[in-house]
Amino acid sequence: MFALFGVLLSCFSIYFVNHHENNKYIIETLELNGSAEEGDALFKINCVGCHGITARGLVGPDLHSITKRLNDKEIIKQVTGGLTPPMPSFEIDPVNMSNLLKYLHSLE
């Protein structure tokens, strides 16, 4: 009985810490005012292989108007978590994530 309680407590603790860190990252990112030019440069380094040089899609989807389909929080989770295979997850600092968001907003 105590062992089960210990396992459940450990699982909850891991979830809570990860969820808290994820929310902290999202809040920090959304508080920044990124640069579309810096985001474009970041996109060209990391994303064109799947989304194409004009972000119209190749293996990955067309990203024009992505900000109309997903909110910024959902985009952050997609980029950092790679939620839909074959999309990889990216470890990207809040400043660069903010830059990438600004660039994606410019694609509307």
Note the pLDDT tens digit of each residue in 16-59: 444 445 799 999 999 999 999 999 999 999 999 999 999 999 99
Cα–Cα distance measured from residue 105 to residue 96, given in angstroms and rounded to the nearest whole number:
14
pTM of this structure: 0.79
For the domain spanning 2-106, the CATH number is 1.10.760.10
> Can you give the residue ranges of every domain in the chain?
2-106
Cα separation, 102 vs 37, whole angstroms: 9
Query: Within 10 A of 101 (CB to CB), how many other CB atoms are there?
Result: 22
Using 50, 70 and 90 to split pLDDT, how confident is the model at 108? Answer: confident
pLDDT category, 12, cuts 50, 70, 90?
very low
